[in-house]
Structure formats: structure tokens, C-alpha cells
Structure 1
Amino acid sequence: MNNYLTLAAGVLCAGIGGELFVRGVVGIARWARIPAGIIGATVAAFATSSPELSVAITAAMAGEPQISLGNALGGNIVNVALVLGITLLISGIQCPRDSLKRDFPVALITPLIIGILALDGVLSRFDGLLLLGMFLTWMVTVIVEARKQRSAAGEILAERRGWLAIILCLAGLVFLIAAGHFIVIGAKDIAASFGLGEFVIGATVVAIGTSVPELATTVVSKIRRHDEVGLGTILGSNIFNGLFIVAIAAIISPISIDWREVAIVSLFGMVTVALIWPVRSGHIERRRGVLLLALYTVYVVTIFRS
């Protein structure tokens, strides 16, 4: 019963944190004169991925890096197939292709790269450094683009109360981190009682728990009509999980893995990201949400059977 109460507390914190965090992120974007999509792909994505980072460091230092890898890769599938699938059921998302051309290719190939690095059955410290180098290259690209897109008009129309936006963002982040923490504790104990393995627990149960911040942020962004924040958060979070969090876990403790398990998760990761590429008009239809949720169901069945 305590585990289920912990899960309920996590869901409550996620709702409160999502509302505060989205308000803060949009405020920071206006105040800093930077497009909300870029803020979503960086500040919001990194902040909502903090539970994954916490789990990765803790698990790697405890000698259980398989949970870190499963959590990061499984979390990416949860972000797109489950989180974005639920969001699309509310209504379609309008997002021009041009706004995705920086982040979409990186999010798409990241699972493939990890799958290739895992062919020898281990993600070594060198592999971790390679992934970290790719992440830093992407970050430099984002920073350069952000500097180019600042405009004089934005300075005139921007939100003057930057301090308030930052406070809202921090307050929301506290609730989101608490939500991920509560849900991971409750869900992990419940899953362990059924005798699941470390990688499977990380790729499914823990991945859902640590993706609650992304779910709350994306759904609230959809309701508040800030689609660019929600989609930017999803893609940025996937890149952060795949390139930064996996890299840190591997650097702390090389990850010995079953390549077949990683191959399954990597394949589903690529397919789910490919499904969110918008049509020429820049629209991602509601029916894609149904398809993503169906794909997530297939993924869960496959990973358990494997």
C-alpha cells in the first residue's frame, strides 16, 4: 500500500510541477529573447531529465549500470511513444519542419549509435567519452543558433520580470524531481516483487517513473498552446538521455550488456522518433498518437518476452 501511495504522491507532484515549470520556461524564453523551442530543447529538456541523471549516477556508482542504460534508452521510448502519444490524443501538434532540422536527426541516430557501440557486449569508458563529445558538439550548435535568433523586437516585447520566471521554473523543477523520485521508488519496488531483471526494470518501470516530468511538461504545454516547448522538451530530453546520461554512466562504470536487449530498445527508439516527423504543412496528426501508443504496447510486450 505504501508503494501505491508513493506513486499517487508522485503523480500529484507532477501535475503541480508541470504547470509551474511550463510557465517559467515560457517566461524565460520571452525574457531572454530566445525562441521557446530552443529553451524547451535545452533548459526544459535537461531539467526534466534530472531524474534520469540521478538514477544513472546512483546506479552506476552502486555497480548496477544496466539500470542506467535501460532507464536512458527506455525513457526515450516512453518520451515519444507514451508521452507524446498521450499529448497527441489531446490534439495534433503544429510544428514546422524547419524548427526540427537541428534536433530531429540527432535524436533519430542516437539509438543507432548506442546499438553499434554495444555490439561487443560492453559500453566502455572510451564509448562514454565518444558519446559525450557528440553531446557537446550538439550543444555548441544549439548555442550558436540561439545567439543568431535573438531579435531586437523580442527585446521590446520581452517579459521584464525574468526573476519571476526563474522562480517559477525552479519551483516547478523541485516538484518534477520529487515526482520522478516518488514514482521510481514505488514502481521499482512493485516491479522487483515480480522478479524482473535490472535492464528490464530500467527500460520499463523506472523509465516511466523518470519520464513523469516530461509527461507533465508536455501535456501542460499542449493545454497552454505552447507546442514548441513540449516537442522541444521531448527531442532535447532524448538527446540528453542518449548522449549525456549514457556517457556519464559508462564513464563511471563500464556497462556489460546483452546486445540483443539493447538492439530491441534501440530499434524501437529509432522507429518512434521517425514517426513524429511532421507532414509538409508542419502538422503532426492526432492519429499518430494512437499509432505511438500502439507501438509502445508492442515494445513493452517485446521487452518482457525477450
Structure 2
Amino acid sequence: MPLTDAVSNPPWANAAIFVTAGIVVWFAGVRLTRNLETLAARLRIDRVFVGMLLLGGITSLPEVANVATASVMGNPALAANNLLGSAAINVVLLAVADAWLGRPAVTGIVARPSTMMMATLCMLVLIAVALAITIGDLEVFGVGVGALAICALSIGCFRLATGYDARSPWRIETDEIERGTKDAEDTPVATPALWLRVAIDGSLIFAAGYALSQTGDAIAEQTGIASALVGFALIGLATSTPELATILTALRLHRPEMAFGQVLGTNFVNLSLILLGDALFAGGPIINELGAFEVVSALLGAALIGIFLVGLLEHRDRTVLKMGYDSAAVILLFALGLGLLSTL
């Protein structure tokens, strides 16, 4: 039952592969987060940096596989909607984790200003995506100017957010930063062995995430769900499974900055992949294949991040149904946005 032709598999077989891959992604994501937390404590690496670059980059591997496959097969809308769906769903997963753990509001325990900088910049990139789709794109040297600009903007914003804590004029009390953030207990495992474990877990996430995206696409086609909604909701959720595992683990380790950094760092990486899809799609600029559905998707992701940004600025521990007010608003807005998207 090859994954490259998953539609020919029986629905029960695709469902079994989907569930198995999800379990693999979950356990690999948990181990990945714990190993990276140990490395960060041992090597004194900033947790925001670990979340943005290492966790964000590794958990974006399923999106790389899905975007490449969909673009080569001539379905750029599926590729783009996977990226935009993941960008929104990743933010929702923060709210879900907030409710799941039932601890103080997640935005009430984040103390580093770099988190707010990342949120603001990620909103700008998503708005730029919506603007590019509205205006249209021009092809230069085989790729779209808009796709190239979005990739450059994503990388630039990623770079700007890195190290912002050191440059920021904000002054946060030391006890607030360290409140409830004891270093993870170091293990006797040597540092090279820890890096090897990270590589193994990343490989498992890539392989299982690819299986999730392919079987999820096949299940959607077999059940007759609209292609755009498939890319945004089902495939976006499937390829975001690693993020849920890593977010929950980071929050259990009392590392909210790592959780936010992982979500927003993943979004930066994912949005830059529009250029990859553009380069692999033979039908012209990928942005010209998109429309109102993708514009609303991008703006929905920006609005969800904006709600959390307000919560970060308020910095209060106000909860409802065991989650922060902002988390509840994120889940509600996402549900309304999904309803709107289903009508487009």
C-alpha cells in the first residue's frame, strides 16, 4: 500500500496508517522537546531560540514534504492551504494546550518581550500573504516575485526576532522570568548522543508527518470533502500534530517562551515554503492560483495571533473554563472562521 498512491488504498487502511503515524509523531515530538530542553540547559541556549529555530524547523518537516508533493503533482492550492491552515491551527493548539493543562493562563506566565515581537512580525507576514494574493504575482526566473518577497520577509522577520531580548529596552524582573522555570533535570547522556536522538526524532517526525499528509489527503478525497478545506483543515491539522506534542511538553516543563517560539517559528518556516511550492509548480506563480479562500485563511491566522498578542500585553492570569480569556477567544474565532471558509 504505497503512500504515493494512497487513494487506491481502502479507507480503513488509510485510517490505520493515519492513526499510527499520529502516534509516532506524538511520542517523537515529546522526546524531541525534552532532549532539546536538556541541550538548551546544558549548552545555555536561549529557550526562545530553541523553540523558533530547532523545534520550529524540525516540526515543519511534514509541511516540506507535503508542499513539495502537492506542487509537483500540480495541486498548488492544496500546498498553499496546508501552509496557511498550519499557521492558524498552530496558534489554536496553544489555546488547546492552555485548556488541556488547566494551569494559569499561558499568556500570563510569558515574561520575555521577544515573544511579543515574534507575534507582531508573524502577523505582518500573514497580512503580506493576503496582500500578495489580492494583488497577484509576476514570474521572474521561474519563480513569482511575490513568493520570493514572502520568503525573504519570513526569513528577515525570523532574524529580527532572534536575540530581541538582548536588544530590547524592556526590563523584566528576574524573578518573573524565572518564575516556575526550573531547569530540566540533566541526564547522564552525552551531548553528542542527545544530538543523535534529536536527529532520530526529527526523522521520525518527517516520515510520519508525510504519512499523515498523504493519507489525510486520500481520506478527504475518498469522503468527498472540498480540496481547499482539505488543505486548510485536515492536512493542516495532520501536519500540525508534531506541534501539539511539543507545545504540551514545553508547557509541562514550564517553558512557555519555548512553546510560543516553536509555534511562531514554525509559522515563519512554513510561510517561507510558499517559494518552494512556487519553484516546483510548473504552471506559473503559485500565488496566482489562489483566491478569496486563501486570503481569508491568511487573515484568520493573523487575527488569531493578534488575540494572543493582546493577552501577552495584558499579561494577566484571567481564566474561563480552565483556559485564559485569550485562548477561549482564539478557539471561538477559529470555529467561526472555519465556518466562513466552508462557505467560500
Shorter-chain TM-score category?
0.7 to 0.9
**What are the Cα deviations for residues 159-205 of structure 1, in whole angstroms up to 9, with x where unaligned?**
89321331232222233223322322332112112333433221111
Alpha-carbon separation, structure 2, partners of 1:128 and 1:2: 37
The residue that corresponds to 1:106 in the other structure is: 121
Match of 2:18, SS state, is helix
**What are the Cα deviations for residues 132-164 of structure 1, in whole angstroms up to 9, with x where unaligned?**
222332344356659989xxxxxxx99893213
Alpha-carbon separation, structure 2, partners of 1:72 and 1:22: 22
Q: Does 1:18 align with 2:29?
A: yes
**What are the Cα deviations for residues 244-266 of structure 1, in whole angstroms up to 9, with x where unaligned?**
11122123332133421122112
Q: Does 1:33 align with 2:54?
A: no
The residue that corresponds to 1:298 in the other structure is: 336
What amino acid sits opposite 1:130 in the alignment? A
Tell me which of 42, 52, 61 is aligned to 2:53. 42
1:32-71 residue pairs with structure 2 within 5 A? 32-71=43-82
Alpha-carbon separation, structure 1, partners of 2:316 and 2:193: 33
1:101-180 residue pairs with structure 2 within 5 A? 101-122=116-137, 124=139, 125-141=144-160, 161-180=190-209
Tell me which of 275, 279, 286 is aligned to 1:247. 275
Alpha-carbon separation, structure 2, partners of 1:97 and 1:31: 21
Which is worse superposed, 91-100 or 32-41? 91-100
- Any unmatched runs of 5+ in structure 2? 1-11, 169-184
What amino acid sits opposite 1:211 in the alignment? S
Match of 1:225, SS state, is coil
Give 1:111 shift: 1.3
Give 1:273 shift: 0.4
Alpha-carbon separation, structure 1, partners of 2:199 and 2:318: 31
Which is worse superposed, 138-147 or 165-174? 138-147
Which is worse superposed, 107-116 or 134-143? 134-143
1:291–1:139 CA distance, 2 compared to 1 (3 A): closer
Alpha-carbon separation, structure 2, partners of 1:162 and 1:38: 18
Q: Which runs of 4+ in 1 moved over 4 A?
A: 121-124, 142-149, 157-160, 282-285
| Maintained 8 Å contact 2:115/2:257 | no
Q: Does 1:261 align with 2:299?
A: no
**What are the Cα deviations for residues 238-288 of structure 1, in whole angstroms up to 9, with x where unaligned?**
11112x111221233321334211221122111100111214437585233
Alpha-carbon separation, structure 1, partners of 2:332 and 2:86: 17
Alpha-carbon separation, structure 2, partners of 1:24 and 1:36: 12
Give 1:121 shift: 4.5
Which is worse superposed, 119-128 or 197-206? 119-128
Question: TM-score, normalised to structure 1's length?
Answer: 0.87
1:39–1:202 CA distance, 2 compared to 1 (3 A): same
Q: Aligned pair count?
A: 297
- Any unmatched runs of 5+ in structure 1? 150-156
Identity %: 17
Alpha-carbon separation, structure 2, partners of 1:142 and 1:230: 15
Alpha-carbon separation, structure 1, partners of 2:135 and 2:20: 41
Q: Does 1:196 align with 2:243?
A: no
Give 1:19 shift: 1.7
CA RMSD of aligned residues (A): 2.6
1:199-218 residue pairs with structure 2 within 5 A? 199-218=228-247
The residue that corresponds to 2:174 in the other structure is: none
Alpha-carbon separation, structure 2, partners of 1:145 and 1:97: 9
1:214–1:62 CA distance, 2 compared to 1 (3 A): same
Tell me which of 262, 274, 282 is aligned to 2:306. 274
Match of 1:276, SS state, is helix
1:144–1:225 CA distance, 2 compared to 1 (3 A): closer
| Maintained 8 Å contact 2:216/2:234 | yes
| Maintained 8 Å contact 1:16/1:175 | no
